[in-house]
Structure 1
Amino acid sequence: MIELALDWEALWPPVALSLQVTLLSSVVVTVLGVAAAWLMSAFKFRGKTLIETALMLPLVLPPTVVGFILLILLGRRSAIGQFIEWLFSAPVVFTWWAAAIASITVAFPLVYQTMKTGFDSLDRELLQSARSAGANGWQLFRFIALPLASRSLLTAYILGFARGLGEFGATLMIAGNIPGRTQTVPTAIYVAVDSGNMPMAWAWTICTTIISFLLLYLARKG
């Protein structure tokens, strides 16, 4: 195995890009996950179990399968991909935006399930009393349900952030591994190990481990 020196200039671009992608994806996935969890918790309707199963599917599918599906849906031959390319004058695949979409998709089930558990644990009599007092759906969510589920919200955000930070398979499929453009820390580690550059692989691994440890620590403290 070839041992190479640690390149400090090459160390930070994947870390910075990973944080950029994850900061965006964590906010988006938290908003989507909270909205979906509230709707699924507050309302009963036919087909609810089927929809919930579909929402949780990215959790059990291999990340490469998720990435492949995203690639088909957002690729230049698809209607969605062509519309995005027409709208922004550029394709979305093999960009850092694609990496963010991959992170959102794989992190969504964690955020959704965490918030669904939080909303399901709320006192139903309290919610019913608020409805009886004239609170509409938005007021019930904004001023009662969300504050009471604030701990679940914090946990959901942190878990979504951590899951997005560690995403590899789906990101590689839809965003690729272009240094300086789409190369995140997980893909950089893979390339470093494959090329025998263990110092760089260790450096990126340590960075990711420290960030993930701090996030999980905050989640448990919260």
Structure 2
Amino acid sequence: MSELFKYTASEWSAIQLSLYVALICAVITLPLAIAVGWFLARKRFFGKSVVEGILHLPLVLPPITTGYLLLLVFGNRGVIGKFFYETFGIQIAFSFYAAVIAAIFVSFPLVTRSIRLSIELVDQKLEEAARTLGASNLRVFFTITLPLALPGVISGFILSFARSLGEFGATISFAGNIEGKTQTLPLAIFSEMQVPGQEASTMRLVVVSVILSLLAMIAAEFLNRRVIKSKTA
């Protein structure tokens, strides 16, 4: 039983790296998802269904496929990866950057969907009333739309964080499984499972994974209730 609390340096490294990647992913994804979510909720244009389908592809594609496509684009021979490698000497694939990018691409559709649905529930008559009183579109968004859609925004942020913690397929194919560099918590669990006699280490990492995911979900529910209560008070 005591072995469940004896974490090695490599295990702590995987845990810390996962938290770091998940936090960066959530911070980067949120403003992008808010912008795209608002655009999809409020705009009508030709080909909207196609755009939505493309944005939601990572939800239905096998994660390993998403990782391979990212490798084609951001690898040293890819369109974007080649530019960064030849111009700045930065290798994106099989690096920490790759782990973050993989997490962003996989979690982005979930966050966008959550925020879009919340914005769609905001009464547009309130926005129109503010405009008739002279408020600019930007002011309407920040003073009416965004505050009323806040529960969905909070859920999206937590969802992005939690989804990033559990990302495996795209990460292992695009970022690799390099200890101390790209080996996140799911990859560490996978690695330990392949080694005979590492049941205790695997269980330690699994316990941490469950606890972190559960805490993220509890935090999302708590914050949503606080926001809803403040609006009805």
Q: What is the TM-score when the length of structure 2 is the normalising length?
A: 0.90
Counterpart residue type for residue 202 of structure 1: M
In structure 1, stretches of 5+ residues that fail to align are none
CA contact (8 A) 1:67 1:174 kept: yes
Instruction: Report the counterpart of residue 142 of structure 1 in structure 2.
Output: 142
CA contact (8 A) 1:6 1:199 kept: no
Please give the alpha-carbon distance, in whole angstroms, between the structure 2 residues aligned to 1:46 and 1:132. Answer: 28
Partner-residue secondary structure (3-state), 1:92: coil
Counterpart residue type for residue 186 of structure 2: P
Please give the alpha-carbon distance, in whole angstroms, between the structure 2 residues aligned to 1:146 and 1:86. Answer: 41
Counterpart residue type for residue 11 of structure 2: L
Counterpart residue type for residue 51 of structure 1: V
Instruction: Report the counterpart of residue 194 of structure 1 in structure 2.
Output: 194
Report how far residue 43 of structure 1 moved. 1.5
Instruction: Report the counterpart of residue 104 of structure 1 in structure 2.
Output: 104
Report how far residue 167 of structure 1 moved. 0.1
Instruction: Report the counterpart of residue 22 of structure 2 in structure 1.
Output: 22
Say whether residues 1:115 and 2:119 are aligned partners: no
CA contact (8 A) 1:75 1:93 kept: yes
Counterpart residue type for residue 198 of structure 1: E
Say whether residues 1:215 and 2:205 are aligned partners: no
CA contact (8 A) 1:96 1:181 kept: yes
Please give the alpha-carbon distance, in whole angstroms, between the structure 2 residues aligned to 1:10 and 1:37. Answer: 38
Counterpart residue type for residue 24 of structure 2: L
CA offset digits 1:169-218 (Å, max 9, x no partner): 00001100011111101001001001131111111111111111011011
CA offset digits 1:2-43 (Å, max 9, x no partner): xxx965222200001111111101111111111100111121
Please give the alpha-carbon distance, in whole angstroms, between the structure 1 residues aligned to 2:87 and 2:143. Answer: 37
CA RMSD of aligned residues (A): 1.4
Partner-residue secondary structure (3-state), 1:177: coil
Please give the alpha-carbon distance, in whole angstroms, between the structure 2 residues aligned to 1:208 and 1:157. Answer: 18
Q: Which moved more, 1:128-137 or 1:70-79?
A: 128-137
Report how far residue 79 of structure 1 moved. 2.1
TM alignment of 1:129-168, pairs within 5 A: 129-168=129-168
Per chain length, whose mean CA-contact separation is higher, i.e. which structure has more relative contact order (CA < 8 Å, sep 6+)?
Answer: 1
Please give the alpha-carbon distance, in whole angstroms, between the structure 1 residues aligned to 2:207 and 2:31. Answer: 30
Report how far residue 86 of structure 1 moved. 3.2
CA contact (8 A) 1:37 1:115 kept: yes
Partner-residue secondary structure (3-state), 1:211: helix
Please give the alpha-carbon distance, in whole angstroms, between the structure 1 residues aligned to 2:47 and 2:138. Answer: 24
Q: Which moved more, 1:57-66 or 1:79-88?
A: 79-88
Deviation >6 Å, runs of 4+: none
CA offset digits 1:33-92 (Å, max 9, x no partner): 111001111211111111111111111111001001100011111221111213431210
* Corresponding residue pairs, total: 218
Instruction: Report the counterpart of residue 71 of structure 2 in structure 1.
Output: 71
